[in-house]
Chain A
Amino acid sequence: MSVKPFYKPDVTPGVHGPKPRLARFRDLTLVPVIVLLLVVGAFTDPVFLTGGNISNILQQQASISLLVLAEAMILIAGKFDLSLESTVGTAPAIAVMLVIPAAAGGFGLGLPGALVIPLALLVGAAIGAFNGFLIIRFQLSAFIVTLAMLIIVHGLLLGPTEGKTLFQLPDSILYLGSVTWLGLPAAIWIAGVLFAVGIFVLGYTRAGRSLYAIGGNADAARAAGIRVHRVLFGVFVIGGMLAALAGILETGRLGAIGSNMGVGWIFMVFAAAVIGGVSMDGGKGTILGALTGVLVIGLVQNILTLKGVSGFWQPVVYGAIILIALMISRIAGGKAQD
């Protein structure tokens, strides 16, 4: 489906639509950074470019990338969601507690183990729906609503578990995060497919394009006949579900749900989205760009570990590389960031 021409001027000029050729490059301003990191990594350690290491990097970034996907959609629609990071831990934890026996730290309801993934997604969707309800229905500030929700949702993990790590998990929740499909961890396939869907939906469908219209100018979008509230509500619900899925993958990777799972991720998520070209003011950026942002962060982390940079200095190097990536994307993109 293509964009309706009459609201096209509100959309980022030329990012998508029927003539994507030159505009495509703007999504890829981080590609030089990625190439540079690949070269640096190759010189740092012979292991770096091996299939095993690359697959590790992708697996390690799979769950946070789903958060970036969610946040990129929400930012493009001109809203904000900080609470995603808390959903990462809370959604799988609540789902697991509904299933496991009381002796293992659960609620003792004894629901079948196969339900744990649908339940986690449901919890994520519910959190997203509640955020959407407060922000859209009551017109509250998205920033403060989701900040409060970040605290509350994390509290909903600490409260029932009393801060204890959940060690005894049903096999069903461990499956996705730890299994290998066709030689690659399933998490990579899942994240890859979801990003492909995201790129397609936001680039080429009416519903996806309407996010840009809403983020660019909500009133104009409404005048153009877009059901702004319904679309935004849907975005928050999908965001919550993606965060829950990220939590499921992370749970499988770690083998337990600690009480601070996901805590502090949101800064990395914003960093990835913004260096990938997504605007904090809404209406600009692409899912592909956000994906390149995640890759940059994953590569930097991997190189720092391989190189064995001292723990005291890693944060400095890490932060500096994010800043440099931001500058390179500014120069390559040629447009002011906001």
Chain B
Amino acid sequence: MKIGSLVASAALLTIVTACGTTGGGAPAAGAAGKVGIDHPRADSDFWNSYMKYVDQMATELKVDKLNPTNSQNDVSKLVSNVQALTGQGAKAIVMAPQDTGAIATTLQQLENKKIPVVSVDTRPDKGKVFMVVRADNRAYGTKACEFLGEKLGGKGKVVQLQGALGSINGRDRSEAFAECMKSKFPGITVFSEPTEWEGSKAASMLQTRLEQNPDIKGIYLHAGGVHLAPTLQVLKTKGLLVPPDDPKHVFVVSNDGIPQEFEAIRKGDIDATVSQPADLYAKYALFYAKAATEGKTFKAGPTDHDSTIIELPNGLEDQLPAPLVTKENVDDQKLWGNQVK
């Protein structure tokens, strides 16, 4: 019964998305060639901001883009969307494969057709990519670890609310956080809660862990968009939502850099967040896609926008900076979380 329902729902979803993609508009012909864009999902605050930036940056950078498709976190939909986009005449593809392994064949086919691919946020395990545009997710975990470790003075207990361990970003953040704690702050015990990016699970797991270890003093949230509100709610019911100078304060570092996190930092509810640059993701994804259609090439080394391009076995990766936002710099207008309305 359950398999049946899965198959049926997949079939229905495919029909629905297929309708969505074929209904796309007719873009004007451009000299440099059109860029096809697939968005990975429509249900997270970060990606929704990214989508808005893509539209905005496309105008700024004069990129001729086809109507973007959305693969709703499903690699099989991504594959069919890419086929639809190439069918519509895309000369370069911008995608964000959340499953970094299963996209290999598609990348191979695109390489055969000589269509360059820019991968945003994730690094495909295999298959040629023109450029990977992503922030270093391991650095997120390390930054969060260093911040919490210093605040706790190198001892005590911390919890990390993990994302989905099936995704490279979830894994990178988890591993880097745990490794950094182990090497730099061996006096700190780390509890890792596999929340699958789900608020409901995050609330339950955090509540249970706090019941078991009332002396937990630090929390790292892998995704502010889903983990922030449940965490604050749990801390509130436990009476732990107190200002940073109160000895009962639990230090919270979030990850994403959405406006609600900034608000919570200003109020003193949480202490820091790693700002994942949604604006830069969109800007450089389109920048490299356009450059690719114009036949430009890039080499490893520092760039003109405070980042470094590194060499991968299957292409290049531009590692964009991801600043740690605390009370000191939360009002910086350059942060994308301060620009969205």
Could you list which residues of chain A lie within 8 angstroms of chain B, going by C-beta atoms? 45, 47, 50, 52-53, 56-57, 59-60, 82, 143-144, 147-148, 150-151, 158, 162-165, 167, 178, 250, 253-256, 258-261, 264, 267, 270, 280, 301-302, 305-306, 308, 310-312, 314
Inter-chain contacts of B257 with A (CB < 8 A): none
CA distance A314 to B196 in the complex (A): 11
B75 within 8 A of A: no
Inter-chain contacts of A264 with B (CB < 8 A): 198
Using A47-B211, A47-B212, A164-B48 as known contacts, say yes or no to A250 and B226 having CB atoms under 8 A apart. no
Q: What does the 1/0 interface line of B14-49 toward A look like (CB < 8 Å)?
A: 001000000000000000000000000111110110
B120 within 8 A of A: no
CA distance A60 to B208 in the complex (A): 10
Using A147-B5, A148-B12, A150-B9 as known contacts, say yes or no to A311 and B203 having CB atoms under 8 A apart. no
Knowing that A270-B1, A314-B194 are A-B contacts, what are 10 other residue pairs whose CB atoms are under 8 Å apart, sorted by A's residue number? A60-B207, A147-B8, A148-B12, A151-B12, A164-B48, A165-B225, A167-B260, A254-B229, A260-B198, A260-B226
Query: What would 19 A/B residue contacts be, using CB atoms closer than 8 Å?
Result: A47-B212, A53-B212, A57-B208, A147-B5, A151-B13, A163-B47, A163-B48, A164-B48, A254-B203, A254-B230, A255-B236, A256-B199, A256-B228, A259-B43, A264-B198, A302-B208, A308-B191, A308-B192, A311-B162
Check A165–B211 contact: CB distance below 8 A: no
Inter-chain contacts of B205 with A (CB < 8 A): 305
B237 within 8 A of A: yes
CB distance from A151 to the nearest CB of B (A): 6
User: Chain A: which residue is nearest B8 at the CB level?
Assistant: A147
Inter-chain contacts of B260 with A (CB < 8 A): 165, 167
CA distance A148 to B230 in the complex (A): 30
Inter-chain contacts of B233 with A (CB < 8 A): 178, 253-255
CA distance A302 to B45 in the complex (A): 29
Check A178–B237 contact: CB distance below 8 A: yes
Check A256–B230 contact: CB distance below 8 A: yes
Check B44–A259 contact: CB distance below 8 A: yes
Check A261–B207 contact: CB distance below 8 A: no
CA distance A330 to B47 in the complex (A): 46
User: Chain B: which residue is nearest A158 at the CB level?
Assistant: B42
Interface size on B, residues (CB 8 A): 42
B126 within 8 A of A: no
Check A305–B193 contact: CB distance below 8 A: yes
CB distance from B117 to the nearest CB of A (A): 25
Check B226–A165 contact: CB distance below 8 A: yes
Using A163-B44, A301-B204, A311-B165 as known contacts, say yes or no to A256 and B229 having CB atoms under 8 A apart. yes
Check A56–B207 contact: CB distance below 8 A: yes
CA distance A254 to B162 in the complex (A): 17
CB distance from B73 to the nearest CB of A (A): 10
B109 within 8 A of A: no
- Max chain A C-beta neighbours (<10 A), residue from B12, B13, B228, B229: B229
CB distance from B267 to the nearest CB of A (A): 13
The 8 closest A-B pairs by CB, nearest first: A311-B194, A256-B229, A255-B233, A259-B43, A255-B229, A60-B204, A47-B212, A254-B230
Inter-chain contacts of B228 with A (CB < 8 A): 256
Inter-chain contacts of B44 with A (CB < 8 A): 163, 259
B2 within 8 A of A: yes
Inter-chain contacts of B208 with A (CB < 8 A): 53, 56-57, 60, 302, 305-306
CB distance from A82 to the nearest CB of B (A): 7
Inter-chain contacts of A57 with B (CB < 8 A): 208
CB distance from B195 to the nearest CB of A (A): 9
CA distance A151 to B228 in the complex (A): 26
- Max chain B C-beta neighbours (<10 A), residue from A150, A260, A264, A310: A260
One of A56, A165, A250, A312 near B165 (C-beta < 8 A):
A312
User: Chain A: which residue is nearest B163 at the CB level?
Assistant: A311
CA distance A312 to B165 in the complex (A): 7
Check B13–A254 contact: CB distance below 8 A: no
User: Chain B: which residue is nearest A167 at the CB level?
Assistant: B260
One of B13, B209, B229 near A165 (C-beta < 8 A):
B229
B200 within 8 A of A: yes
Check A162–B48 contact: CB distance below 8 A: yes
Using A56-B207, A56-B211 as known contacts, say yes or no to A147 and B199 having CB atoms under 8 A apart. no
Check A255–B42 contact: CB distance below 8 A: no
Check B8–A144 contact: CB distance below 8 A: yes
User: Chain B: which residue is nearest A63 at the CB level?
Assistant: B200
B309 within 8 A of A: no
User: Chain B: which residue is nearest A159 at the CB level?
Assistant: B42
User: Chain A: which residue is nearest B16 at the CB level?
Assistant: A151
Check B194–A261 contact: CB distance below 8 A: no
Check B2–A267 contact: CB distance below 8 A: yes
CB distance from B192 to the nearest CB of A (A): 7
User: Chain B: which residue is nearest A55 at the CB level?
Assistant: B211
Inter-chain contacts of B9 with A (CB < 8 A): 147, 150-151
B79 within 8 A of A: no
Using A255-B232, A267-B2, A308-B191 as known contacts, say yes or no to A163 and B42 having CB atoms under 8 A apart. yes
One of A147, A151, A255, A314 near B230 (C-beta < 8 A):
A255
CA distance A259 to B198 in the complex (A): 10
One of B1, B194, B204, B232 near A280 (C-beta < 8 A):
B1
Q: What does the 1/0 interface line of B194-225 toward A look like (CB < 8 Å)?
A: 10001110011101110110000000000001
